[in-house]
Structure 1
């Protein structure tokens, strides 16, 4: 039936999103169609706008609509602290906690011998350059408590040893846990209880 081809295509596209399967996507699309002027049209306009303007921050790797994100351009955040995270989702999780008031550095992944991901494939050289250029006094390694996350943290610690105070998140982050799935209280407690490496 050609009359529903576009709707079926929208359902299939929505089902590709994390956390949505075919059934949830069908319900979401039906809701959007029923609330066309309140939900569907504004959502389509926003998706188009974000698609046209979103870019990676040239300094830290966060997402925004300008060359530098709001965090990197804020003078209040230039306190000598950089929090290193694996992904933008982890940065957003840290920001939700409202505890950290410094700047960030998004690596874009972790070191992985199995996937042939080395330091040059991540933003590790850029991080080392930022430490030298920006007068950084502390680097907080807020990487996921996975094998690859810890391997990456140790590599960065070796590269920066003696140049800057190195700390990592402490209590509250379970082994094998990922920042994006933690609640705000757990992230706050872990950030406050960070330890020197």
Structure 2
């Protein structure tokens, strides 16, 4: 086992940073060193912001978004189309759609996708809450905006089955050629999905 070259406090900082997505041990060491070198400009403000977030950030009990209030800002926005609900895997997907200003609708965060191999079943997601929201009335369309993975598609089919019998329109995001994409650089799966999802012009 390699001997530690830094104090336990710095080692703990490195270990915690290494748990973040996209940061391995080497990147975590670089980030920790950068933070420590700029402790007044970065480390102290970051520590304060993280402490405040730990106290103030809540999960919206209605849609699953993350905000400092419950219900969240989106759920309390009177200008939102509450009859349309976009179903996403995670909060990061919700934020991506909001940045794109794709649709002024409401959301429902599943908290992941069904994955038997990882032991994630329907009870681990918020699918039951989605069905309850539909049963409460006022929703006319569900847009399933999950990733185009095997697990994502399995989850989409399960949701469709659970919503069978309700009088609502269920749609999903189109899959295919991205804006600005060149056919020669796309994989076969994307091209096949694009061909199947072709539309009249």
Does TM, scored on the shorter chain, surpass 0.5? yes
- Structure number with the bigger relative contact order (C-alpha 8 A, sep ≥ 6) is 1
Match of 1:139 among 126, 139, 142: 142
Q: Distance in 1 between matches of 2:12 and 2:102?
A: 42
**1:87-128 deviation digits (Å, cap 9, x = unpaired):** 112212222212121011011122233344332332111111
Q: Indicate the RMSD between aligned Cα atoms, in angstroms.
A: 2.6
Q: Which runs of 4+ in 1 moved over 6 A?
A: none
* 1:60 pairs with 2:63: yes
**In terms of Rg, which structure is larger?**
2
Match of 2:92 among 89, 93, 102: 89
1:171 match: 175
Q: Distance in 1 between matches of 2:135 and 2:68?
A: 27
Count the aligned residue pairs: 178
What runs of 5+ residues in structure 2 fail to find an aligned partner?
A: 179-193
Q: Distance in 2 between matches of 1:83 and 1:31?
A: 39
Q: Distance in 2 between matches of 1:126 and 1:173?
A: 33
Q: Assess, with a 3 A threshold, how the Cα gap between structure 1 residues 194 and 53 changes in structure 2: closer, same or farther.
A: farther
Match of 1:19 among 22, 31, 40: 22
Alignment of 1:67-78 (within 5 A): 67-78=70-81
* Range moving further from structure 2, 74-83 or 40-49: 74-83
What runs of 5+ residues in structure 1 fail to find an aligned partner?
A: 175-189
Q: Assess, with a 3 A threshold, how the Cα gap between structure 1 residues 25 and 173 changes in structure 2: closer, same or farther.
A: farther
Say if 1:86 and 1:110, in contact at 8 Å, map to a contact too.
Answer: yes
* 1:43 pairs with 2:55: no
Q: Distance in 1 between matches of 2:137 and 2:83?
A: 8
Q: Distance in 2 between matches of 1:86 and 1:194?
A: 25
Match of 1:148 among 146, 151, 171: 151
Give the secondary structure class of the aligned counterpart of 1:71: coil
Say if 1:86 and 1:109, in contact at 8 Å, map to a contact too.
Answer: yes
